[in-house]
Amino acid sequence: MKKFCSLLKSLKLLRAKKISFILFIIFFQLYETDAQSLSQKLDQYISEYQVNKNIASISAGVLRNGKVIWLGAHGYSDLSHQVHAAPNTIYRIASISKVITAVAIMQLVEKGKINLDADALNYIPYFPRKKWKFTTRQILQHTAGLRDYKPGEFNSTVYYPSTKEAVEVLGNDPLVYKPGTKFLYTTLGYNLLAAIIEDVSGMKFNDYLKKYIFLPAEMNSTFLEFHQNIILNKARGYDKDNYRRIENAPLADLSIKFAGGGIVSTSEDILNFAHALLSNKLIKHSTLDSMLVPTKLPNGKTLESGLGVEIKTDKNGNLFFGHYGFGTGFSSLLAIYPKDSIAVVHLINTVDRNIGSPALNLAAIVQKENFEFPKKSLADKMMEITINRNLDSAITYYKLIKVDSSNLYNISSSEFDLFGYDLLRIAHYSFAIKWFKFFTTEFPSNISGYLGLGDSYYHDNNKGLALKFYHKALEINSSNNYALKMIKKIQTDN
């Protein structure tokens, strides 16, 4: 009897183990299916984004709970040679560079080598003294009074061999305002942070980043973009011309702004940086928390930024920090959701007005929240048809789009406005007048159509009709500053 009970017990245990194994297999298959489904959605999103936004390429990635769960790329890193973008394609990350520089500063704060609230020029003895003192904290916050770009500096082709020479670009300029009183975004101001890092560490800025940021964060494809250096797998940058066609971006030497916008990297490397930042590999959690305190001005205004980072809320109400980037030929975003342990990034080798925030939609897909697949631009389609045929054909096509249930195009009033001003930009004044008239029939209560008509007649040298439509705009909004300004300008000119 004891043997029988023992055998029965063994059979039950074996059955339990078998059931447990089967349940494990089922769970694993469901998990794998869910992961595949998520990956397919993310792939579909960036594929549609690249096509519908008409950009050269996009590279993107998602980090969740410390692990890179997806990387994707679509389009061409080099249109001339038809080179496909891939997860290892290197892009200019533009102002995401500021976050990296800020973390480097905070490492030295932790070591007691930098006092954020001391006079910043204590660390930069060669920089000329100004009317007011300013601090390292204020440079990080963009409240130090340092100026932004002058004409020609954004796409500068001048090579600055050292941080000192890049810093001296601002050396002879006065502060724009008393430090700490206002906010003025300045990429060039971040050169002073590179100079501070060099002074207190005794290392070149580039060498410091390699040793204390790139190496510990496993950023193996991240570099300062020295124009003369060959960087394998680097994407070319693109813009759009006035006819909404992709063209090569201007030449630019990034040595004028390494600390604020001169780093190149991959999506995977940027996610590795986000993981290192969240997991205490680069700075302490308490230090990161101090970077995420929103800047408050003396007038009581609280900014959407802290120390080297932007702090924002997405359309679903979720808080994230990181940075947007817009450089010569490139657009980017790193968004870190600390509450959900998620980070997302997009790197795009095209600058355009309709880039949006694809990384945030990738986050929404992962979080199973509301998101929208990208739509095609009505304005761009109208331009294509108008140039190849005529405006009447474009309007006819719009009417077909309007009744099409597929909603492939963005047919909002903003697209109407964009196309109207595209026509003005290429001096097609009669077409612009006709389009803006059509705009007012489609959106009769939208002030933009009447302002556009006013501008179209003004550029067509018909100031009488321009006045008529600026006044019409004021019937919709009597305090519209632009209409009031243009009416005053016309009256003064006469």
Asked if 74 contacts 346 with a C-beta cutoff of 8 angstroms, the reply is no
Would you state the pLDDT for residue 229? 95
Would you state the pLDDT for residue 147? 97
Would you state the pLDDT for residue 355? 95
Would you state the pLDDT for residue 27? 46
What count of other Cβ atoms lies within 10 Å of the Cβ of residue 39? 15
Amino acid 217 reads A
Query: How does strand 263-265 pair with strand 91-92?
Result: antiparallel
CA–CA gap between residue 462 and residue 122 (Å, rounded): 59
Would you state the pLDDT for residue 11? 45
Token representation of residue 487 = 């009416």
Would you state the pLDDT for residue 19? 54
Q: Spell out the domains of the chain, with CATH numbers in brackets.
A: 58-366 (3.40.710.10), 376-493 (1.25.40.10)
Would you state the pLDDT for residue 3? 52
Asked if 58 contacts 89 with a C-beta cutoff of 8 angstroms, the reply is no
Spell out the SS3 assignment of the chain: CHHHHHHHHHHHHHHHHHHHHHHHHHHHHHHHHHHHHHHHHHHHHHHHHHHHCCCCEEEEEEEECCEEEEEEEEEEEECCCCEECCCCCEEECCCHHHHHHHHHHHHHHHCCCCCCCCEHHHCCCCCCCCCCCCEHHHHHHCCCCCCCCCCCCCCCCCCCCCHHHHHCCCCCCCCCCCCCCCCCCCCHHHHHHHHHHHHHHCCCHHHHHHHHHHCCCCCCCCEECCCCCCCCCECCCEEECCCCCEEECCCCCHHHCHHHHCEEECHHHHHHHHHHHHCCCCCCHHHHHHHCCCCECCCCCECCECCCCEEEECCCCCEEEEEEEEECCEEEEEEEECCCCEEEEEEECECCCCCCCHHHHHHHHHCCCCCCCCCEEHHHHHHHHHHHCCHHHHHHHHHHHHHCCCCCEECCHHHHHHHHHHHHHCCCHHHHHHHHHHHHHHCCCCHHHHHHHHHHHHHCCCHHHHHHHHHHHHHHCCCCHHHHHHHHHHHHHC
Max CA-CA distance within the chain?
116
Asked if 174 contacts 190 with a C-beta cutoff of 8 angstroms, the reply is no
Would you state the pLDDT for residue 493? 84
Q: What is the pTM for the complete model shown? A: 0.90
Query: How does strand 376-377 pair with strand 409-410?
Result: parallel
Token representation of residue 231 = 């960087």
CA–CA gap between residue 316 and residue 314 (Å, rounded): 5
CA–CA gap between residue 187 and residue 363 (Å, rounded): 27
Would you state the pLDDT for residue 26? 46
Query: How does strand 330-337 pair with strand 409-410?
Result: unpaired
Q: pLDDT truncated to tens, each residue of the chain (494 aa)? A: 555 455 446 545 556 555 554 544 544 444 445 678 999 999 999 999 999 999 999 999 999 999 999 999 999 999 999 999 999 999 999 999 999 999 999 999 999 999 999 999 999 999 999 999 999 999 999 999 999 999 999 999 999 999 999 999 999 999 999 999 999 999 999 999 999 999 999 999 999 999 999 999 999 999 999 999 999 999 999 999 999 999 999 999 999 999 999 999 999 999 999 999 999 999 999 999 999 999 999 999 999 999 999 999 999 999 999 999 999 999 999 999 999 999 999 999 999 999 999 999 999 999 999 998 999 999 999 999 999 999 999 999 999 999 987 789 999 999 999 999 999 999 999 999 999 999 999 999 999 999 999 999 999 999 999 999 999 999 999 999 999 999 999 999 87
CA–CA gap between residue 443 and residue 413 (Å, rounded): 7
CB-count burial class (<10 Å; 0-12, 13-18, 19+) for 290: middle
Token representation of residue 215 = 């190496």
Asked if 271 contacts 66 with a C-beta cutoff of 8 angstroms, the reply is no
CA–CA gap between residue 378 and residue 416 (Å, rounded): 8
Nearest to 212 by CA among 270, 273, 265: 273
